[in-house]
């Protein structure tokens, strides 16, 4: 079920009414309702894959209980590895089986040995990368005795399957989300209103910004050989706004929806395109995944505590694994490696934690140095996104070659101007400008609309909201558009 669908627009109010007006008499009933409705939400896509979520839930619940009772370190390690093998085994089979098989065949063919093997027609379960990491972190934390395992299976099942963040995050830690299922929840009007505002802005990001940019990013990337360098650069720019609007829009809707039910999810985006260096960008982009890899991979590897060689090794491991997490394609590995190259100079010169506060805090505009740093960081990010979006490494290479080689040509600028005038007109540039301004003004809040309009005269504030609602309705596509991260 998509957040930007009529189905969800009907589903959410029904669950809200049942949650607050029918099952509110008992906490276990509320948690059971969350489990049932979450399974309905996920099963709307394909009910057959509900068994994967249920099995993963059962395994990690049993592993957690066993780890609590068991003192023998060998048996505790066996229990932990059971969780790791089950979770990563499912993920590896559904997501990476064909990738490894194809590359295995290619490698042997390169050395002159022909191998006959058939790939499988495997359907990737939506959200498997997210909920497997969520349950896996529970087992690891219990193993390290950082968390007391739950004895409430319904609460644990609700934690694993909680529908707002089930298929594309944020990837929650059990220490943060699971205890919220133990406590009686009371309806909070102000919290619900705040949630609705965040849902509104998330829908604007997805429908008005991401889907509009997608139309032209797809046109340019899918026909890149036909376009000039300046048009290809425009396509990369459109994709940068598409993926940010799409994924951060999903996170806003997920977090806002959870607030309607009295839950607090972790922040997943913190205005990353206003970052002054790549290290700051990665502290602000997909925060739940970045911190997951930091805590469960980077730090156990030694982090940045060792010598230069270890720092370089760990940085490349964390970024390449992060890239590979996104998909079974060498383009994602190249994207991760490129970001590692961006990041290393900051790490090796101890400048990776220079920009911890919000840019131009308390100011209307940044100074020249801040603005320059933002622009350079953004352009580096846009360049890296080319690998993320390309069909394969060859496509990425030709796209970059044609883009750089074709910049500055008169015919190229004419083609770009023609594309903008004939296909996009003034609407999308104006919308992107509006979007950037609102995000900039609201950058000190939890999300862009968190504090904008707080002190405005009520009719003006509501007029602002109705403008956003009008734009969402105006740009709503005729066909439902899935979120990019559903494929990961």
Mean pLDDT of the chain: 88
* pLDDT classification of 484: cutoffs 50, 70, 90: confident
> CA 114 to CA 187: how far, in whole Å?
65
Per-residue confidence (pLDDT) for residue 117, from 0 to 100: 55
Per-residue confidence (pLDDT) for residue 326, from 0 to 100: 87
- Contact status, residue 346 vs residue 382, Cβ threshold 8 Å: no
Catalytic member of 176, 286, 326, 395 = 326
Q: pLDDT tens digits for 111-147? A: 555 555 555 556 667 788 888 999 999 999 999 999 9
- The fraction of the chain above a pLDDT of 90, given in percent, is 65
Active site annotation includes 326: yes
Per-residue confidence (pLDDT) for residue 203, from 0 to 100: 96
Residue 9 has pLDDT above 80, yes or no: yes
Q: pLDDT tens digits for 60-90? A: 999 999 998 888 899 999 999 999 999 998 8
pTM given for the model? 0.92
> CA 418 to CA 454: how far, in whole Å?
42
> CA 445 to CA 166: how far, in whole Å?
25
Cα Rg, the chain, nearest whole Å: 23
């Amino acid at each position: 079920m998509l957040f930007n669908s009529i189905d969800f627009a009907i589903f959410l109010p029904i669950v809200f009414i049942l949650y607050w007006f029918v099952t509110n008499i008992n906490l276990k009933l509320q948690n059971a309702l969350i489990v049932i409705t979450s399974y309905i939400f996920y099963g709307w896509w394909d009910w057959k894959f509900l068994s994967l979520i249920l099995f993963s839930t059962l395994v990690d619940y049993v592993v957690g209980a066993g780890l609590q009772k068991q003192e023998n370190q060998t048996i505790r390690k066996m229990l932990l590895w059971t969780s790791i093998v089950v979770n990563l085994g499912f993920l590896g089979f559904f997501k990476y089986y064909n990738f490894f098989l194809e590359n295995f065949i290619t490698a042997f063919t390169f050395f002159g040995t022909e191998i006959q093997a058939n790939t499988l027609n495997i359907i990737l379960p939506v959200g498997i990368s997210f909920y497997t990491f969520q349950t896996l972190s529970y087992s690891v934390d219990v193993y390290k005795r950082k968390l007391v395992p739950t004895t409430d299976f319904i609460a644990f099942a609700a934690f694993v399957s909680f529908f707002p963040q089930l298929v594309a995050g944020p990837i929650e830690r059990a220490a943060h989300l699971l205890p919220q299922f133990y406590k009686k929840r009371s309806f909070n009007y102000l919290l619900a209103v705040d949630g609705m505002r965040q849902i509104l802005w998330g829908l604007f990001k997805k429908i008005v910004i991401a889907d509009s940019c997608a139309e032209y990013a797809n046109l340019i990337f899918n026909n890149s050989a036909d376009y000039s360098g300046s048009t290809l650069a425009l396509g990369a720019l459109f994709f940068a706004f598409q993926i940010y609007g799409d994924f951060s829009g999903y996170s806003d809707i997920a977090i806002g929806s959870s607030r309607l039910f009295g839950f607090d999810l972790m922040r997943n985006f913190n205005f990353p395109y206003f970052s002054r260096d790549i290290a700051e960008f990665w502290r602000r982009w997909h925060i739940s995944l970045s911190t997951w890899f930091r805590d469960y991979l980077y730090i156990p590897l030694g982090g940045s505590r060792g010598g230069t060689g270890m720092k370089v090794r760990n940085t490349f491991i964390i970024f390449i694994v992060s890239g590979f997490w996104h998909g079974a394609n060498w383009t994602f590995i190249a994207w991760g490696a490129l970001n590692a190259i961006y990041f290393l100079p900051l790490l090796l010169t101890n400048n990776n934690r220079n920009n911890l506060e919000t840019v131009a805090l308390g100011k209307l505009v940044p100074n020249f140095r801040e603005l320059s740093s933002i622009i350079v960081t953004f352009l580096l990010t846009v360049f890296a996104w080319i690998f993320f979006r390309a069909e394969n490494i060859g496509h990425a290479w030709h796209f970059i070659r044609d883009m750089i080689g074709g910049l500055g040509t008169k015919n190229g600028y004419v083609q770009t101007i023609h594309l903008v005038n004939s296909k996009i007109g003034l609407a999308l540039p104006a919308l992107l400008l509006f979007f950037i301004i609102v995000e900039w003004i609201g950058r000190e809040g939890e999300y862009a609309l968190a504090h904008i309009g707080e002190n405005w005269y009520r009719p003006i504030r509501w007029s602002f909201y109705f403008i956003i609602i009008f734009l969402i309705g105006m740009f709503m596509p005729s066909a439902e558009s899935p979120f990019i991260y559903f494929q990961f």
